[in-house]
Structure 1
Amino acid sequence: MKIGVHPSNLHLRIAQVWPDAFAALDGEFVTYREGRDTGRLIAEGKIDFGGTGSTPPITAALDGLKVKYIAASAPRPANGAILVRADSPIKTIPDLKHRRIGLVDGSFQTYYLARNLEEAGLNLADIERVEPEVNDALPALLDGRVDAWIAMAPRLENALERDDIRLLSRCGSTIPNRSLFWTLEDSGLDAETRLKIAQELARIGSEITADPHQAARRLVESGATEASLQGWEKVIASRDFTVIQADDTILTEQQTEAEVLHRHGHFDRLAQIYPQAA
């Protein structure tokens, strides 16, 4: 079984370096650049499943791929925030109108932004979405190439330690902000195998929760340079690594997101996520 791993999915990054992870499923970890490539890589047979935020599987469905949801993390209210410069005139979400927002467009960050704007009576069309390179996002905010930046762990925690950065909005309950683990119907992972994947993700998650220091150490030793050992341990210890099998609640959340992003014009048509065949 080929398990896709990219830098933004912390659960699978740790699983990749965790003792005996997916051994019973003959798991082989395949590294790739970013979550938005997941659907394509499954379709090409390069991976069998991956983990992303909530938006890529909806995009895959709209691209004509038959998405199968395997499992989902607990909500992650702390892993996402809108940041501005400390001296920025932007004080509230309505102040984002006509501003340049740095984000990974087509990730959960687009949905998070859309919901924030919607609550303020705005639309995605009212702002300009800009996508800096990952390592250039903070410099882009500091030098004014973007007016606000949507950040996630561990760069979020690193940025919040600075005096020249100010928090505008935390993810909180704005969106569920889960990691979703999914595949495609054509990948050949039957219902029994998908259940075993969900159970293994849950097992690994419970072990990570029991020993965040070991998880952080293994990440750093594998070359995860985005944070220090202490920084990674703080991120891991503060996160709920619970994983559940995908159920009606997850599919309903996905359908809601599809409707919101269609309403905002991010998607040109409405994806039908729910119900999903077994």
Structure 2
Amino acid sequence: MKISIGAHPSNLTLTALTHYQPLQQPLTDAGLSPEFYWYPEGRMMHALAVAGKVNVIGTGTTRAITAQADGVILAYIGASKPRLSWSSIVVPARSDIVDAGDLDGKRIGFIEGSFQTYFLLAALDRVGLNYTSIHGINLKPGESLAALRAGRIDAWVAMDPYLSDALEGGDIRKIQDCGDLIANRSVFWVLSEVVAAGPKVIQTLFNTLVATDAWIGGHLGQAGELFSRVIANGLSAASWTQGLKSRDWGILPPDRQFFTEQQAEADLLFKHGLLKQPVDISQSMLPFQLDGLATHTRGYSNGRT
């Protein structure tokens, strides 16, 4: 079966799988014919999926939810462990912004449509603000630190390794950690033709994701060099390696807690007008049980329950 795996710089697991051939061996050993589609930004995944370019995808939680809201039929096959210290809202050290309540009317740089949207929204919602309370500016991570230091934005939703690198200068400080509000997972999902291929294919994909993530966690220096070279965002291998140390590596099956988290996020996005319609996350559960993969018997069957 043809497996088309989409990878982008913000998903490090699929970046490693795409660019380090030994990690691909379990797929070929299982008789699959993987193809890898490298694209520069996570926001492109929706169009690529609809166009049939990719059918195995890794994103933050938010892009998977917006894809489902836009009618993409998908099923989750795995999720990273929560990344409690991987992202923070930061401001210049001299700023008078102390907490999320001070963000009202401020210019905030982040990747629109990514998990950073949800993180920011959760911070605003907790203090009684909403998405229209701030001026969001869509910026790539590599552009944001310079914009913050130059005063073009007032705050930045930063993630590692950019976050760790920025904090080393001493002129940037945190006002909100991601882990206080959201789990911040990477999620891995497939389209209907992959689900139709059956449990063995899904299990092979899941096992490969687990092995790839374990390789990164066990080879931080080698992974840092790989990401420095293939992502080429100006960060050194040493900076990448330092940033990777702060992440709790590991891919888990999508369990009840995961689906509860996804539904809470979908409800908050809809509440603030960022989804066209409500989303029932149970529709994205696999229809069969797999060894070591906690799935459910309801929800996913070509869009029907």
Cα offsets for 1:139-178 (capped at 9, x unmatched): 2212222111101121111111123212111111310100
Aligned equivalents of 1:60 and 1:189: distance in 2? 21
Map Cα deviations across residues 29-61 of structure 1 (whole Å, 9 max, x no partner): 210021122232122121121111001111111
Unaligned runs of 5+ residues in structure 1 are: none
Q: Distance in 2 between matches of 1:79 and 1:189?
A: 35
Q: Could you tell me which residue of structure 1 aligns to residue 102 of structure 2?
A: 95
Distance 2:204 2:18 in 1: 17
CA contact (8 A) 1:51 1:180 kept: yes
Residue 202 (structure 2) aligned to one of 184, 194, 199: 194
Q: CA deviation at 1:138?
A: 1.6
User: 1:217 maps to which residue?
Assistant: 225
Would you say 1:146 and 2:159 are equivalent positions? no
2:252 match: 244
Q: Residue 3 of structure 1 aligns to a residue in which SS?
A: strand
Question: What residue in structure 2 maps to residue 256 of structure 1?
Answer: 264
Conserved in 2, the CA contact under 8 Å of 1:66 and 1:186?
no
Q: How many residues align?
A: 278
State whether residues 154 and 226 of structure 1, in contact with CA within 8 Å, keep that contact through their aligned partners in structure 2. no
**Aligned CA-pair RMSD:** 1.8
Give the structure-2-normalised TM-score.
Answer: 0.85
| Shift in alpha-carbon separation, 1:43–1:223, aligned structure 2, 3 A | closer
Contact 1:17 1:219 in 2 (8 A): no
Task: Give 1:277 shift.
Answer: 4.8
C-alpha distance in structure 2 between counterparts of 1:225 and 1:104, whole Å: 15
Select 1:23's aligned residue among 22, 25, 41. 25
Extract unaligned runs of 5+ from structure 2.
Answer: 28-32, 288-305
CA distance in 2, matches of 1:66, 1:39: 11
Distance in 1 (CA, whole Å) between partners of 2:47 and 2:229 is: 30
1:2-45 alpha-carbon deviations (Å, 9 max, x no partner): 21110111111122233422223233321002112223212212
Q: Which residue of 1 aligns with 2:177?
A: 170
- Correspondent of 2:91 among 74, 84, 88: 84
Flag the 1:84–1:44 CA change in 2: closer, same or farther, 3 A. Answer: same
**Percent same amino acid at aligned positions?**
37
